[in-house]
């Protein structure tokens, strides 16, 4: 007896559906899942040091730790009284040299119009006028040099930020290159975490990650991967767990995306890559 085609077609459909469902269930159960990667680090800000280019005694410290600052704002002043005196003397010397140069030039012009002047005499007068002009230019250069040094006695902020460290007081001597203040740009926060060697391959530049801090429980902030180390490190100082110090890890630096100022440098944070 020949099978009824009308019964075969539904049976094939049922078998196909069952087979497809079984394969979907198998793959869903046994397929590898991307697990969450978690790490801990400390939020950091881009820091700038304020230091003197020239040695000088500190006269005023105009800001303290925690104070907000603006780019170009004067933060520290150094004693410039000696430079002021030297500048005033240089200005007087320049003015005298300028008068001498003008007089020498006027004399040279008169002598050039004289019919009886010898060429040797004219060369001598022109040489004297040239020397007077050179002397005036040297005096002017000295004035400008001293004014530049005076401007360096007022130390200004290179950024809009906040003072996070003050290391000097009025009356102390500031040496060239010595740090007087440390500023932080709170608009540019980042965090470096360490991920085990067998896990970091799933993280790419530009990946987003969730960031949480104890100071704001229940709040989730966003960070984005900015840099991935080229080489693994062993026992990095910043790893904060005993387990982490036993394995090779890669440093992952993330840029923290925030605009409301709640996150501060020094806050420990948990980072979750999903």
More confident residue, 121 or 94: 94
What is the mean pLDDT of the segment spanning 206-216? Answer: 94
- Res. 259 pLDDT band, cuts 50 70 90: low
| H-state helical runs in the chain | 5-30, 81-113, 119-151
**97-101 CB contacts, 8 Å cutoff, 24+ apart:** 97/132, 97/135, 97/136, 97/138, 97/139, 98/136, 98/139, 98/140, 100/132, 100/135, 100/136, 101/129, 101/132, 101/133, 101/135, 101/136
Confirm whether 31 is domain-assigned: no
- Cα–Cα distance for residue pair 211/227, rounded to 1 Å: 16
Enumerate the β-bridge partners of residue 83.
none
- CATH number for position 175: 2.40.50.100
Looking at the structure, tell me whether residues 208 and 96 fall in a common domain.
no
Looking at the structure, tell me whether residues 126 and 219 fall in a common domain.
no
Looking at the structure, tell me whether residues 89 and 193 fall in a common domain.
no
pLDDT surpasses 70 at 193:
yes
Looking at the structure, tell me whether residues 53 and 171 fall in a common domain.
yes
Q: Are 132 and 97 in contact (CB under 8 A)?
A: yes
pLDDT surpasses 50 at 11:
no
As a whole number, the mean pLDDT across the chain is 83
- CATH number for position 230: 2.40.30.170
Q: Which pLDDT score, from 0 to 100, does residue 71 have? A: 96
- pTM of the entire predicted model: 0.65
Q: Which pLDDT score, from 0 to 100, does residue 2 have? A: 52
- Res. 53 pLDDT band, cuts 50 70 90: very high
Task: Please give the tally of structural domains in the chain.
Answer: 3
């Amino acid at each position: 007896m020949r099978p009824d085609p009308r019964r075969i077609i539904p049976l094939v459909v049922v078998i196909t559906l069952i087979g497809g469902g079984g394969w979907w269930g198998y793959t869903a159960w046994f397929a590898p899942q991307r697990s969450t990667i978690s790490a801990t680090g400390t939020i950091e800000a881009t820091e700038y040091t304020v230091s003197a280019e020239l040695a000088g005694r500190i006269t005023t410290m105009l800001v303290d730790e925690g104070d907000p600052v603006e780019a170009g704002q004067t933060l520290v002043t150094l004693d410039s009284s000696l430079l002021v005196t030297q500048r005033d003397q240089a200005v007087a010397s320049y003015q005298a040299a300028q008068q001498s140069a003008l007089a020498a030039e006027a004399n040279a012009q008169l002598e050039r119009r004289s019919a009886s002047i010898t060429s040797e005499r004219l060369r001598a007068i022109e040489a004297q006028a040239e020397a007077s002009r050179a002397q005036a230019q040297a005096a002017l250069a000295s004035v400008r040099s001293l004014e530049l040094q005076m401007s360096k006695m007022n130390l200004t902020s290179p950024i809009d930020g906040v003072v996070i460290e003050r290391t000097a007081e009025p009356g102390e001597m500031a040496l060239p290159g010595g740090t007087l203040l440390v500023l932080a740009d709170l608009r540019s926060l980042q965090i470096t975490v360490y991920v085990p060697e067998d896990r970091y391959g799933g993280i790419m530049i530009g990946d987003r990650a969730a960031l949480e801090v104890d100071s704001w429980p229940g709040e989730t902030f966003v960070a984005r991967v900015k840099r991935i180390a080229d080489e693994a490190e062993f026992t990095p100082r910043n790893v904060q767990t005993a387990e982490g110090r036993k394995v090779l890890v890669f440093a992952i630096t993330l840029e923290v995306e925030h605009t409301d100022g709640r996150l501060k440098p020094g806050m420990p944070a948990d980072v979750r890559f999903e």
